[in-house]
Amino acid sequence: MSVDVRNFSIRSVLPLDGRQGRGNLPEARQSLRKPHSATKIYKTYYESPIGMIEIVGTGEEIEAVEFVETAEEVPGEIPVLLQNCLKQLDEYFQGKRREFSLDLRPGGTEFQRLVWQELMRIPYGGTASYKDIAEAIGNPRAVRAVGQANHRNPIAIIIPCHRVIGKDGSLTGYGGGLWRKEWLLGHEAGCRT
Domain boundaries, the chain: 8-93, 110-191
CA 170/CA 154 separation, integer angstroms: 23
Q: What's the confidence (pLDDT) of residue 40?
A: 87
DSSP 98: S
Annotated active-site positions, please?
161
Q: What's the confidence (pLDDT) of residue 76?
A: 82
Please give the C-alpha separations between residue 178 and each of 65, 66, 125, in angstroms, as whole numbers.
Answer: 17, 14, 17
Residues in the chain where the model's pLDDT stays below 70: 1-38, 74-75, 192-193
pTM beyond 0.75: the answer is yes
CATH number of 110-191: 1.10.10.10
